[in-house]
A and B are shown apart, each in its own frame.
Chain A
């Protein structure tokens, strides 16, 4: 069965610094991978997704993620953090065999320090 592990339930970065949120997946077949963001008092919003095309995926708000099969990773990055990036970020996986369900990680809360 597929699963995702997000390393670090809380990450703090200074404004303007690199954002790196880690996600490792487990899947028996080639996966679809997602990053979602949840701002305070809101539902989840899709940031980006990988569907076996380009391994470097660009999303909204300047975020991108790279699929690395050898490392079973799909880390999320942004070159320069902004205060508005403070939110909770969820990595998720769905396998091609049953793409009617998405399995979410526990989430990483990103704090931006002024």
Chain B
């Protein structure tokens, strides 16, 4: 595997379920990001981790809980979601957390549907 991978690619969950999204990067990068992509809205940055430390929480509701056990893996734990949380969730990584200097590499995303 090369680049940034995300699993699952598609997820349907009820509002009372608990699920997790997984992201893995094989690029040796130190910064990882979670973005939310909704229809007709700009890409929204959710969380940033730099050297496994969370450095950004962009006012994300607590029903989204990130975890970064090491520089290669990033999880997004989901619980009691709302239908408006349905979106494409993109993971990205970069050499360091200087997004303008270091290119961000994106995974293909997880298409989440909350029923």
Q: Which residues of A contact B (CB under 8 A)?
A: 9, 32, 41-46, 49, 51, 90, 94, 96, 99-107
**What residue in chain B is nearest A103 (Cβ atoms)?**
B42
In the complex with contacts A100-B48, A101-B56, A43-B41 CB distance below 8 A = no
Interface of A is mostly: loop
A33 CB, min distance to chain B CBs, angstroms:
9
A44 engages B106 (CB within 8 Å): yes
- Contacts of A45 on B, CB cut-off 8 Å? 106
14 of the cross-chain contacts (CB-CB < 8 Å) are: A44-B92, A44-B106, A49-B103, A94-B100, A100-B48, A100-B55, A100-B97, A100-B98, A100-B99, A102-B45, A105-B42, A106-B40, A106-B41, A107-B43
Question: What is the bound-complex CA distance between A100 and B45, given in angstroms?
Answer: 11
B100 engages A32 (CB within 8 Å): yes
Does any Cβ of A come within 8 Å of B101's Cβ?
yes
B99 engages A44 (CB within 8 Å): no
For residues 1 through 57 of chain B, which have their beta carbon under 8 Å from a beta carbon of chain A? 4, 40-43, 45, 48, 55-56
For residues 83 through 115 of chain B, which have their beta carbon under 8 Å from a beta carbon of chain A? 90-92, 97-101, 103-109
Interface of B is mostly: loop
How large, as a class, is the contact surface on chain B? 20 to 34
Question: What is the bound-complex CA distance between A45 and B48, given in angstroms?
Answer: 18
In the complex with contacts A9-B40, A90-B43, A105-B42, A43-B4 CB distance below 8 A = yes
Pick from B40, B45, B107: contact of A101, CB under 8 Å:
B45
- Contacts of A105 on B, CB cut-off 8 Å? 42
User: What mask results when residues 65 to 86 of chain B are scored 1 for a CB within 8 Å of chain A, else 0?
Assistant: 0000000000000000000000
In the complex with contacts A43-B4, A43-B92, A43-B109, A51-B43 CB distance below 8 A = no
B90 engages A43 (CB within 8 Å): yes
Q: Which 7 A-B pairs have the closest CB atoms?
A: A43-B106, A99-B100, A94-B100, A104-B43, A32-B100, A44-B106, A102-B99
Contacts beyond the supplied A43-B92, A44-B104: 19 A-B pairs with Cβ under 8 Å = A41-B108, A42-B106, A43-B4, A44-B43, A44-B90, A45-B106, A46-B104, A49-B100, A90-B43, A96-B100, A99-B101, A100-B98, A100-B99, A100-B100, A102-B99, A102-B100, A103-B42, A104-B42, A104-B43
